[in-house]
Amino acid sequence: MQPIKVRSETAEDFRAIDVVNLSAFQGEAEAQLVSELRKSDGFVPDLSLVAELNGRIVGHVVLSRVKLKSASGESDILALGPMSVVPSQSHRGIGSELINAAIARARPLCYNAIVVAGYPGYYQRFGFRPASEWGLTSNLNIPEDALTAMELKEGALAGGGEVIYPDIFKMLF
Ligand SMILES: CC(C)(COP(=O)(O)OP(=O)(O)OC[C@H]1O[C@@H](n2cnc3c(N)ncnc32)[C@H](O)[C@@H]1OP(=O)(O)O)[C@@H](O)C(=O)NCCC(=O)NCCS
């Protein structure tokens, strides 16, 4: 397989990213959420990444800012998702490259942690752990074990708390 190139999205990629999301998910909700995220306060352009194979966009992941409310106050952390790989290229490590690149780019931006809602079986291999280990909950309508998290700074999640996703995520959860 040709090498995968992972880079930040540009405006020229929006249509191709829609196509990736529409092909990977059933329905339009994830593609719509990505469009809404771009207009939202929490959007971090450097953390909306595409995977290119032979010049074609075959995968996408976005990390955006969400609030963590804990006893010690409020802070910004990152939420990963949606993420998608076109079905014809899945199971070839492209999703893993996207996640590892996203984590590597998030670290120097000094956020404390990353959370993910959904698919715990997939994300744990990258170091995400059940959010319940830190007493973390969220405002999304998901089962407790569907929320996983990764500290980017050791001890950052020790105080637990509630992850407050913006309302636009409620089109999925
Ligand atoms: C999940 C997804 C992003 C993985 O991308 P990928 O490029 O296939 O991932 P990788 O090749 O790095 O890893 C593949 C492994 O992920 C795991 N995996 C894939 N989908 C999974 C899921 N829904 N739940 C749990 N594990 C999953 C499998 O263990 C798979 O291993 P295998 O190839 O030995 O079967 C891709 O399958 C996809 O777009 N799925 C539809 C959309 C989706 O569910 N997105 C994630 C939630 S936002």
The protein residue whose alpha carbon is closest to atom 32 in ligand 1 is 91
For residue 22, the enclosing domain spans 5-171
User: b/e per residue, 156-173, with b = 16+ CB within 10 A?
Assistant: bbeeebebbbbebbeebe
Residue position matching structure tokens 């309508």: 141
Residue 119 pLDDT: 86
CA of 77 from ligand 1 middle (Å) equals 24
- pLDDT, mean over the chain: 96
CATH number of the domain that 65 lies in? 3.40.630.30
Residue 164 pLDDT: 98
Mutational test site, ligand 1, from 85, 88, 100, max ligand atoms within 8 Å of CB: 85
Contacts of 95 (CB under 8 A, 6+ apart): 59, 61, 83, 85, 122
| Identity at 78, one-letter amino acid code | L
Residue 16 pLDDT: 98
Mutational test site, ligand 1, from 90, 119, 165, max ligand atoms within 8 Å of CB: 90
pLDDT digits (tens, 9 = 90+) for 147-165: 999 999 999 999 999 999 9
Integer Cα distance of 72 and 89 in angstroms:
44
| Identity at 124, one-letter amino acid code | Q
Residue 91 pLDDT: 96
| Residue 39, H or E segment | helix 29-39
* Beta strand residue intervals within 54-160, DSSP E: 56-70, 73-85, 113-117, 129-130, 136-138, 147-151
Percentage of the chain beyond pLDDT 70 is 100
The protein residue whose alpha carbon is closest to atom 17 in ligand 1 is 122
Residue 103 pLDDT: 97
pLDDT digits (tens, 9 = 90+) for 67-120: 999 998 999 999 999 999 999 999 999 999 999 999 999 999 999 999 999 888
Q: Report angle CA 79, 112, 102 to the nearest 5 degrees.
A: 50
Integer Cα distance of 14 and 34 in angstroms:
9
Q: Which residues line ligand 1 (CB under 6 A)?
A: 24-25, 81-85, 90-96, 118-119, 121-122
Tell me 2's DSSP state.
Answer: P
Integer Cα distance of 80 and 147 in angstroms:
11
Integer Cα distance of 126 and 102 in angstroms:
11
Supply the pTM of this predicted model.
0.95
Integer Cα distance of 82 and 58 in angstroms:
14
pLDDT digits (tens, 9 = 90+) for 31-41: 999 999 999 99
Is the sign of the CA dihedral 103, 49, 161, 108 positive or negative? positive
Confidence band, pLDDT 50/70/90 cuts, at residue 2: confident
